[in-house]
Amino acid sequence: MQYPQLLFLLLPVYLATGCIRKVDDREQIKKLLVKESATWRNGDGKAHADCWIITPESRILVSLPDGRHFDVPPANMIDEHIKAAGGHAENSNYRITISGNLAVVQHDEVSTDTAGQQSYSHETRILLRTAKGWKLNGQSLHIYKPAGN
């Protein structure tokens, strides 16, 4: 078989494999984000810490509806003694960009506390692919009040 014919046969397989991996990566990332939200709320510090990899570049930035903002120490994300806030969260409108071992995810979150109060945020998450899979490395979340509230 000649080289161009072999290339013609193998190129679709190569391209399909790359697409499958990206789809699989996207699903793994979504599952990680759901796990991270759930473990934060139920106080499972060990499982929550497992969602994160903290590096010198890690940053957790939060902005509030009134314009105040603050940095959360990244070490808080891997503290196994987090306090459970309860409630649950639902993420939607995922926008995922993957480049090699780096992913940037934007999504919306609606959090419901144990009393049924809801809060809303736009979130941007930075993830790194590690030997143990995707891990969160940083995030920026912007809490807002929807129009009419």
User: pTM for the complete prediction?
Assistant: 0.82
Decide which of 115 and 13 is more confident.
115
CB-based burial label for 95 (10 Å; 0-12, 13-18, 19+): exposed
**Residues 110-140: pLDDT tens digits?**
999 999 999 999 999 999 999 999 999 999 9
42 vs 17, more confident: 42
More confident residue, 112 or 13: 112
Average pLDDT, the chain: 89
In angstroms, rounded to a whole number, what is the distance separating the alpha carbons of residues 114 and 111?
A: 10
Pick the residue with more confidence: 106 or 79? 106
- Long-range CB pairs of 33-36 (<8 Å, 24+ gap) are 33/91, 33/105, 33/107, 33/125, 33/136, 34/91, 36/136
> What pLDDT does residue 3 have?
56
- If pLDDT is split at 50, 70 and 90, which confidence band does 148 have? confident
Q: How many CA atoms lie within 13 A of 132 on its CB side?
A: 8
pLDDT at 95 over 80: yes
d(CA 114, CA 88): 8
Asked whether the predicted pLDDT for residue 5 surpasses 90, the reply is no
Q: Which residue has the tokens 């014919």?
A: 5
Residue 20 amino acid letter: I
